[in-house]
Amino acid sequence: MIAAPAVRCTALAPGCNHIEDRDVKTYRLIAFILAASVFFSGQLARAESGWLNDYKKAQQEAKANNKFLLVNFTGSDWCGWCIKFDREVLSRPQFKDYARDNLVLVELDFPRRKAQSAELQKQNGELAQQYEVFGFPTIVVLNSGGQKLWKFDGYFPGGPEAFIAELEKLRKG
């Protein structure tokens, strides 16, 4: 039996399976860009839907536009009632149309599987304490001056029409 000659693999050798350091860096960069784009597209999709997660920015916008601030405390990736409320009320065209003209929307999420920055977790936790949130979903409505007008704990039944009717009562005083 004849032994195959030892072949030193270099990046330039044809048929070589060796990956050079710069190739590894390129693959890592591509993987990072893909992961970042997935993360930011989720953030962008939520922002495009009109929901903010920066409470202070939302307060400023509410004050500047003389709108109510609707704060949704949610467990978006694990809370069944939160998911149902989002699907049956908050994501419906009737609510979106109403919100665009009358509300600044803030989602304060307490996910179990989604990553969040430490800063966002801190903000959400402090606001949950401030507004005495003990379960999800909890909706808090503030006027443009920051005064609490309404708080609702749990799932709000009746669809977007009933929810909008409740918000309209607040607007009319």
Q: How far apart are CA 88 and CA 123, in angstroms?
A: 27
Query: What does the radius of gyration of the chain's CA atoms come to, in whole angstroms?
Result: 25
Query: How many Cβ atoms from other residues are within 10 Å of residue 168's Cβ?
Result: 11
pTM for this structure?
0.73
pLDDT digits (tens, 9 = 90+) for 85-128: 999 999 999 999 999 999 999 999 999 999 999 999 999 999 99
Burial 111-129, CB ≥16 within 10 A → b, else e = eeeeeeeeeeeebbeebbe
Q: Is the pLDDT of residue 11 over 60?
A: no
Q: How many Cβ atoms sit within 10 Å of the Cβ of residue 153?
A: 15
What pLDDT score does 105 carry?
98
Buried b (16+ CB within 10 A) or exposed e, 53-69: bebeebbebbeeeebbb
pLDDT tier at 27, thresholds 50, 70, 90 = low
Q: Is the pLDDT of residue 29 over 80?
A: no
- DSSP output for 103-138: EEEEEEE--SSS---HHHHHHHHHHHHHTT--SSSE
The model's pLDDT over 156-173, given as tens digits with 9 standing for 90+, comes to 999 999 999 999 999 888
**Lowest mean pLDDT segment, chosen from 21-25, 55-59, 167-171:** 21-25
How sure is the predictor about 22, in pLDDT bands with cuts at 50, 70 and 90? low
Rounded CA-CA distance 62/72 in Å is: 15
In the block, residue with structure tokens 């990736």: 77
Predicted confidence (pLDDT) at residue 30 exceeds the cutoff of 80? no
Q: Which helix (H) or strand (E) holds 159?
A: helix 159-172
pLDDT (average), residues 25-38? 52
What's the pLDDT at 173?
80
**Rounded CA separation 68/141 (Å):** 7
